[in-house]
Amino acid sequence: MNKRLLAAAGCFLCELVAVGVGAGTNSLYTAPVCSDLGISRTGYSVSVTVIYLVNMLIYMLFPLLMKRVPLRGIFAVGLLCEMTAFLIYSQIRSAATLYLAAAFLGAGLALLGTVPITAVIKSWYPDRQGSVLGIVLSGSGIGGAALIPLAGILMNSHGWRAAALGSAGLMAIVATPCLLTVKENKQAGKHEGQKDGCVEPERFPFADRGLLTALLIYAFLTGASIQPTYLSIAAHLSEHGINTQNASAVLSVICFCALFVKVLLGAVSDRFGPYPAAACSHIGFILSAVTLVFFTGWLPTFEILFAFGSVPLALMLPLLSSHFFHKSPSRVLSLCMAFQTAGISLGILLTGKLYDMFSSYDPAFLLLGGVNFAAFMWIPLRFTLARWVAESSIWQAGEPVLTK
């Protein structure tokens, strides 16, 4: 098997377990942990916010990390952090240990997340990044579909502490194959951004700062709406008489559907650009929020819609970063992920506060749907205008517009 297939397979396995389990099962712990430890939903939201604050810090440091530490080392530390997090989760006795476990989990998810995986895939597949990245990131969907129900069964039969121990053991099992296969194509960096011996400038050189600002705002809005909703699904369903095992089945189906959606929208992006793919995703999220509030019993419809709606968290930011900033996508993506994480932190705190105020997640879901709609409208209005201004400036200067 050639090296680039092995690298993609290693990234896929990392997504399958580390992200599928680490992020996918988090919402299952909300109700039992709050009940056993006597913590309010707002208090538990603080622990989830800790996860994303640590995420944000690491994303800000990623450009420096990627210069000083080999990608394989980054993946190794990430797997160790996640394993440590679940070991601590299994021994939680107070809010302080809950927050400590959250900090380790946040570090692991960032170090195994979109930024390093995109760097690996882009180095091996520069011309088919959307399709391959969609397939690799679908690993979290397969992991969630297969492993979230297992976590739910363990919680129902042996308690949430046993489920956390099982997750830690799984991280230890997959560490070796992941670290043996994940590696960057060293030759790709030597030619990146070069054509015919000349350095190719960024695609829109007169609007880089404006486009970066627009992309950061988009990242913040998507983060503030999507992940807080996902983390509240199981708790919301429990309010409607659906037990943990059945709620885990709903999350599993979402992850399974997201598997195909990521592959589909990755191919759409390669063929038509990132805008149509993003539009499909945002429409799905808005409709899923409405379904969750007003038609909670329509679970199959909700599962499919939310599978589309969750895609911007993993797929759209790498594609947009590469589309506009093809010479330095990793640095731009790191900033975008930091802003997205800041949005997630704010959204989670807001969701917990609204629940404590209204004893229901419905107001929070409606508000988050509105935030996602704002992100949806931001894409065509800001990015298209910036592109038109940049290309007009180049045309008036009498210079050809570079296309990739």
Mean pLDDT for all residues in the chain: 78
Q: How many domains does the chain have?
A: 1
Tell me if 154 is assigned to some domain. Answer: yes
pLDDT, greater one: 211 or 91:
91
- Per the rule left: phi > 0, alpha: psi between -120 and 50, beta: everything else, 202 is beta
Average pLDDT, stretch 302-321? 80
Q: How confident is the model at residue 290 (pLDDT cuts 50, 70, 90)?
A: very high
For the cut 70, the answer to whether the pLDDT of residue 112 exceeds it is yes
Q: How far apart are CA 25 and CA 195, in angstroms?
A: 45
Ranking 13-17, 129-133, 293-297 by mean pLDDT, the lowest is 129-133
What pLDDT shows up at residue 327? 64
Q: How confident is the model at residue 390 (pLDDT cuts 50, 70, 90)?
A: low
For the cut 90, the answer to whether the pLDDT of residue 104 exceeds it is yes
Tell me if 113 is assigned to some domain. Answer: yes
For residue range 142-170, what is the model confidence (pLDDT) as tens digits? 776 677 778 778 888 888 888 888 888 88
Tell me if 170 is assigned to some domain. Answer: yes
pTM: 0.66
Give the domain extent around 38.
3-184+202-396
CA pseudo-torsion sign 357, 363, 242, 160: negative
Tell me if 192 is assigned to some domain. Answer: no
Instruction: For 171-219, give the DSSP string.
Output: HHHHHHHHHHH----TTHHHHTTEETTEEPPPSSTTSHHHHHHHHHHHH
Tell me if 190 is assigned to some domain. Answer: no
What pLDDT shows up at residue 287? 93
CATH number of 37's domain: 1.20.1250.20
Tell me if 74 is assigned to some domain. Answer: yes
For residue range 212-253, what is the model confidence (pLDDT) as tens digits? 788 888 889 988 888 888 878 888 888 887 877 778 788 778
Average pLDDT, stretch 206-213? 64
- Per the rule left: phi > 0, alpha: psi between -120 and 50, beta: everything else, 193 is left
Tell me if 308 is assigned to some domain. Answer: yes
Tell me if 20 is assigned to some domain. Answer: yes
